[in-house]
Structure 1
Amino acid sequence: MAGRATSPNSRRARPTAEDGDQRLPREMIAEDLNDDEVFFLDEDDFHTVFQDDYYARLNVDHNASQEEIRNSYRRLSRLLHPDKHTEPWKKSLAENAFNSINAAYEVLRDPYRKSLYDACGASGTVSDLWQVVPVDPANRKTLDELKEEREKRKEKESTNPHNEMSMGLDVTDLFERRNRDTKDYGIQNYIPHVEITTLSTVQSIEAPWPQVDRFQLFSNVNYERGTGGGMFGVEMNKTLSETVTGDFKVMTGPSRGLVAHLKLNKRLDAGKYISLSAFSAFSRFGMMPLMEIAYGSNLGKLGNGRVIVRGTTRVVNVVTRIDKDFKDSRFSVTSEMSPDDVVLGITYSRKLPLAHEPKLSIGLKTGFRGVTLEYGVSRRVSKYNQLAASMALALPGGVTLRITFQRSNQAFSFPILLSHDILPAPVFYGTVTPLLLYACVKSIYFIPQWKAYVTERLRSKRNSYRSGLEEKRKEYENFLKLMIDKYEDLINSEGLSNGLVIDRAVYGRFDDFQPTMDTIDVHVQLQCLVRNHQLDLPALSKTDLPGFYDPCISERKRLQIHYIFGGKHHLVQVMDDEALHLPSPEHLVVG
């Protein structure tokens, strides 16, 4: 009885879209991803699906050390270097094969380029102007197009734009229906009244300016129940010494004078800092000064503490805060004292051990003027987007639901006043409705649409790869021509010492553990990888091993090997991305 093949269910976990050092498998389809993973793919992920795997090309694992990478490269160089072959035609074939492994080694030997490759694939290791382009000539980008794309990215990076928008809604009519005369209002009596109470936008961009570290232009526009205003200003940051930085801000707007703000920050020893701020507002009523002093320190096991004292000639406020960070959570205690109120608050937030790190938070503030309880949840919903929802129960103040959507430097916030008093209905519906609505819209619309999009993008990439398949097949045949004589020497050497001899090896699509027509013979390639009577293959797709190619794009592939070790026959079959070590007693053919 032959040694059984490894079950497909026992293979290692398939890489996900968020794995930093993994790329999407070539045979992956949208159904392989769970419902959330389809939202975490971007163009870089699709771009790297069919790029060559430099680790597999050198037959090393993604976690291989520099010494392991160097040793593997040297072993392959001894086989493939053109100087190891005398016939001119073999030298030509060897040069192509050696250039392939040398290109992989030049990237993986350099820690910086290696990190770029791990993050972005082969295109991340070269200049934007000479990036790897698809095999399909129709999709190639001209040099001018690449230059234009690079300039746009540089422009966006240099300006670093930030935008925030907040729109407040009053939907209290849903839960606090006012008595209306049906005769006067007609059908509108049955339609809840929704009012936009506030609207504000804040935006800023950075611009180069000599002799300062950062120069920023910013503005804001706000509206609240029929009245509005706005402001425009500039901000400059400058490093004055190794421990001192300065910040200067000037702003003005309609119906207000000039406002100037100067802030100095000094970093002290042992995690301490102190800052001094001075505000001056100039108007027709004169100058209004405001001073602020802040002191922060590391309190050891208690966490980090901060004290802020701010005030004018007539009013002084004191704010204190202590933050304690744990492994997956944070606990904060705050206090704010002013002449007419004292507010104490506690906040606790925790990241849940689930995919995409959803975070729960709860906080309580209490003072002479009222109490506020706030709780909420936030979660990454795609690679660059985050969605948050929170409920605030204030007495006085009522029930407010806040929904926030953030993408990179863009944020959109919607505070929705549900009721002026704390009532059971708005509390229940404000808590449950956003969760149910998100789950329904996501499952009914977004997931099917995104899976269809992912399927189409993968199909497009596979079609581009197929156009270059003939070249891959030719490289495979050239490798066999180049190494056939070396293969005979290797098996004779291994056979004389009862070592490891690869008798048969097939790679491709199998049907019930039986090879189909969509397979290739790879026993020569694997024998060339044997070292010290052993063969080790990393947990990577075998497609990019020296002398391999993909014989069945988009299909599940396996590798079946029949080998002789110690004069005994062995048989093993593994999935494409499963690690393998030969010899092993588990592979022994019995009977």
Structure 2
Amino acid sequence: MAAALENELGLDNEDYYSLLNVRREATQDELKSSYRRLCMLYHPDKHRDPELKRQAEQLFTYVHQAYEVLSDPQSRAIYDIFGKKGLEVEGWEVVERKRTPAEIREEYERLQRERDERRLQQRTNPKEVANKRLNGTSEAVWDIKHHADLLNRKTHLLTSPLSQPHCVFNCTLMTTSIVRDTKTSHFTLALQLGVPHSYLMMSYQYKFQDEDQTKVKGSIKTGFFGTLVEYGAERKISRHSVVAATVSIGVPQGVSLKIRLNRASQTYLFPIHLTDQILPSAVFYATVGPLAIYLAVQKLIIMPYVRAQKEQELEKQKEVSASEIARRKQEAEAAVLLMQESVKRIIDAEESKMGLIILNAWYGKFVSDNSQKHESAKVIDVTVPLQCLVKDSKLILTEASKAGLPGFYDPCVGEEKSLKLLYQFRGAMHQVLSGDTEPLKIPKQCHRIDSEA
């Protein structure tokens, strides 16, 4: 939950591409060129003042860290998919380096699941944590024994992954099944012949593409034992918990209800036998009862609890973000001080050839609509940082949030921002307003304004 709030506030990850002012598709040469330029700007040895030297060391470390991540192919692939926090997940050091982005995503999700399971196991059953930590040894041994028992009794044959005939043979039984599993559905058709257990079974499951991973399913099974119809639903109620309810209607079994709760690796099953006969009232209560109870619990208990937790996390995150914003503001101001000498040299060089001079630059939320006059503008002066990025009478900003640029910070977290520039080129005045994540390249003829304006 805290991570989601950080995403909303935009404080979870520092944008390394924006810090180096390079494209997401930047080559190694582009990364190296930008890195060298920033190193020359922030190198601690260039500053004699102790405070400036300390600030330069800190900014130099940030730049070096960004370059190290983006210049390494594997680290860059992980960062592109999961951001800075993806690099902090335990286990990457043992992962093979030559992997595609899809394989990296799969490996990351596996490592995340293992970490979440370890944390949950510590809370639910701390005595077994020691056994679980030994690379899953206890689980692996059980799986090997379990599969060995199966192989002693049965022979499996699998074919196409999309439509899989699955045959099982032993002395008295033969089972054939066809399985089709897609992103939104799962279908199974199975036939078992044997004495005395012979049956034909067909089941279908539909998977909703929502946050709660809702699934509805139904099946029909008929054989010598009679006929059994089952239907039910499954839904995720928390990060590690899933609840499911299944209604069974059969002859001669009658009507029953099964409620299942999965929490991490633990499963709780509550079977309720309602009647030995098929009665409409029993079917009605078995269907409507769990749904009504779930909705009541969801509305009266779960939703208020989640809302209270979210508000509590939001308050905590606001306190954290306030200190984080203050830190970034301090870093931006320090970066501006470190840029002063370089900016003077750049301006002198540009003036000598009537090049690009940034006269005024503002970044943040601008209020121009009459309906928003009661709101105050939240902007910061970024003239010096942008002039420092001018090279050969050109300024190029990549397609990323400008809050990550050296000398910038976010003056209005969570709100829409823009960059407003007034610059001079070839003695003529130019003006442009650019969105926060829009790429910008100046000078341009279309930005020119007449002398009267």
Question: TM-score band (shorter)?
Answer: 0.7 to 0.9
Which residue in 2 is equivalent to 1:525? Answer: 385
Letter of the aligned partner of 1:77 in structure 2? Answer: C
* Residue 293 of structure 1, CA deviation: 2.1
**2:57 aligned residue (95, 102, 114):** 95
**2:148 aligned residue (256, 260, 263):** 263
* Residue 56 of structure 1, CA deviation: 3.9
Q: 1:434 to 1:213 in 2, by over 3 A?
A: closer
**1:559 aligned residue (418, 431, 443):** 418
Which residue in 2 is equivalent to 1:125? Answer: 88
Work out whether residues 333 and 345 of structure 1, in 8 Å CA contact, stay in contact via their aligned partners in 2: yes
3-state SS of the aligned residue for 2:169? strand
Work out whether residues 507 and 557 of structure 1, in 8 Å CA contact, stay in contact via their aligned partners in 2: no
Q: 1:50 to 1:402 in 2, by over 3 A?
A: same
Work out whether residues 116 and 125 of structure 1, in 8 Å CA contact, stay in contact via their aligned partners in 2: no
* Residue 396 of structure 1, CA deviation: 1.9
3-state SS of the aligned residue for 2:235? strand
Letter of the aligned partner of 2:431 in structure 1? Answer: H
The within-5 A match list for 1:394-413 is 394-413=250-269
Q: Determine which structure has the larger strand proportion and give its number.
A: 1
Work out whether residues 8 and 414 of structure 2, in 8 Å CA contact, stay in contact via their aligned partners in 1: no
The within-5 A match list for 1:272-351 is 276-277=151-152, 292-299=153-160, 303-311=163-171, 316-351=172-207
What are the Cα deviations for residues 277-298 of structure 1, in whole angstroms up to 9, with x where unaligned? Answer: 1xxxxxxxxxxxxxx1222221
Structure 2 residues without counterparts, runs of 5 or longer = 92-113
Alpha-carbon distance between aligned partners in 2 of 1:384 and 1:439, rounded to the nearest angstrom: 20
3-state SS of the aligned residue for 1:79? helix
* Residue 325 of structure 1, CA deviation: 2.8
What are the Cα deviations for residues 429-487 of structure 1, in whole angstroms up to 9, with x where unaligned? Answer: 43344334433432444333323322222322332444466554443232222212322
Work out whether residues 113 and 125 of structure 1, in 8 Å CA contact, stay in contact via their aligned partners in 2: no
Which residue in 2 is equivalent to 1:371? Answer: 227
Work out whether residues 60 and 72 of structure 1, in 8 Å CA contact, stay in contact via their aligned partners in 2: yes
Instruction: Give the CA RMSD over aligned residues.
Output: 4.5
Which residue in 2 is equivalent to 1:439? Answer: 295
Which residue in 1 is equivalent to 2:101? Answer: none
What are the Cα deviations for residues 540-564 of structure 1, in whole angstroms up to 9, with x where unaligned? Answer: 4x44432223445x56352331233
* Residue 512 of structure 1, CA deviation: 4.6
Which residue in 2 is equivalent to 1:569? Answer: 430
Work out whether residues 500 and 563 of structure 1, in 8 Å CA contact, stay in contact via their aligned partners in 2: no
Which residue in 1 is equivalent to 2:103? Answer: none
3-state SS of the aligned residue for 2:258? strand
Which residue in 2 is equivalent to 1:425? Answer: 281
Percent identity over the alignment? Answer: 27
Alpha-carbon distance between aligned partners in 1 of 2:22 and 2:294, rounded to the nearest angstrom: 43
Work out whether residues 509 and 555 of structure 1, in 8 Å CA contact, stay in contact via their aligned partners in 2: no
Q: Determine which structure has the larger helix proportion and give its number.
A: 2
Work out whether residues 386 and 405 of structure 1, in 8 Å CA contact, stay in contact via their aligned partners in 2: yes
Alpha-carbon distance between aligned partners in 2 of 1:160 and 1:449, rounded to the nearest angstrom: 23
What are the Cα deviations for residues 334-392 of structure 1, in whole angstroms up to 9, with x where unaligned? Answer: 12222234201112223234444422322211113211122222233333222222222
Work out whether residues 41 and 338 of structure 2, in 8 Å CA contact, stay in contact via their aligned partners in 1: no
Work out whether residues 209 and 215 of structure 1, in 8 Å CA contact, stay in contact via their aligned partners in 2: no
Work out whether residues 505 and 559 of structure 1, in 8 Å CA contact, stay in contact via their aligned partners in 2: no
Work out whether residues 206 and 217 of structure 2, in 8 Å CA contact, stay in contact via their aligned partners in 1: yes
Alpha-carbon distance between aligned partners in 2 of 1:334 and 1:369, rounded to the nearest angstrom: 16
Q: 1:95 to 1:426 in 2, by over 3 A?
A: same
Q: 1:158 to 1:247 in 2, by over 3 A?
A: farther
Work out whether residues 365 and 378 of structure 2, in 8 Å CA contact, stay in contact via their aligned partners in 1: yes
**2:342 aligned residue (486, 491, 502):** 486
* Residue 510 of structure 1, CA deviation: 4.4
Which residue in 2 is equivalent to 1:535? Answer: 396
3-state SS of the aligned residue for 1:383? coil
Greater relative contact order, per chain length (Cα 8 Å cut-off, separation 6+): 1
Work out whether residues 322 and 333 of structure 1, in 8 Å CA contact, stay in contact via their aligned partners in 2: yes
Which residue in 1 is equivalent to 2:105? Answer: none
Which residue in 1 is equivalent to 2:71? Answer: 109
Letter of the aligned partner of 1:97 in structure 2? Answer: L
Which residue in 2 is equivalent to 1:73? Answer: 35
Alpha-carbon distance between aligned partners in 2 of 1:445 and 1:409, rounded to the nearest angstrom: 24
Q: 1:393 to 1:126 in 2, by over 3 A?
A: closer
Work out whether residues 558 and 573 of structure 1, in 8 Å CA contact, stay in contact via their aligned partners in 2: no
Letter of the aligned partner of 1:368 in structure 2? Answer: F
Q: 1:525 to 1:381 in 2, by over 3 A?
A: farther
Letter of the aligned partner of 1:563 in structure 2? Answer: L
Q: 1:586 to 1:454 in 2, by over 3 A?
A: farther
Normalising to structure 2: TM-score of the pair?
Answer: 0.73
What are the Cα deviations for residues 145-171 of structure 1, in whole angstroms up to 9, with x where unaligned? Answer: xxxxxxxx99x859979x99xxxxxxx
Alpha-carbon distance between aligned partners in 1 of 2:431 and 2:120, rounded to the nearest angstrom: 63
Which residue in 1 is equivalent to 2:363? Answer: 507
Work out whether residues 208 and 215 of structure 1, in 8 Å CA contact, stay in contact via their aligned partners in 2: yes
Letter of the aligned partner of 1:25 in structure 2? Answer: E
Which residue in 1 is equivalent to 2:98? Answer: none
The within-5 A match list for 1:10-49 is 24-26=7-9, 49=11
Letter of the aligned partner of 2:247 in structure 1? Answer: M
What are the Cα deviations for residues 389-417 of structure 1, in whole angstroms up to 9, with x where unaligned? Answer: 22222122122232222222122222233
Alpha-carbon distance between aligned partners in 2 of 1:380 and 1:586, rounded to the nearest angstrom: 53
Alpha-carbon distance between aligned partners in 2 of 1:71 and 1:319, rounded to the nearest angstrom: 65
Work out whether residues 216 and 232 of structure 2, in 8 Å CA contact, stay in contact via their aligned partners in 1: yes
Work out whether residues 405 and 411 of structure 1, in 8 Å CA contact, stay in contact via their aligned partners in 2: yes
Letter of the aligned partner of 1:296 in structure 2? Answer: L
Give aligned pairs, total: 416
What are the Cα deviations for residues 52-85 of structure 1, in whole angstroms up to 9, with x where unaligned? Answer: 4444433457x556646555434433433446x4
Letter of the aligned partner of 2:154 in structure 1? Answer: I
3-state SS of the aligned residue for 1:546? coil
3-state SS of the aligned residue for 1:446? helix
**1:391 aligned residue (247, 269, 273):** 247
Work out whether residues 118 and 129 of structure 2, in 8 Å CA contact, stay in contact via their aligned partners in 1: no
What are the Cα deviations for residues 494-534 of structure 1, in whole angstroms up to 9, with x where unaligned? Answer: 67777665432223454456894753211222333456724
**1:476 aligned residue (312, 317, 332):** 332
Select the structure of larger CA radius of gyration: 1
Work out whether residues 183 and 207 of structure 2, in 8 Å CA contact, stay in contact via their aligned partners in 1: no
**1:462 aligned residue (313, 318, 327):** 318
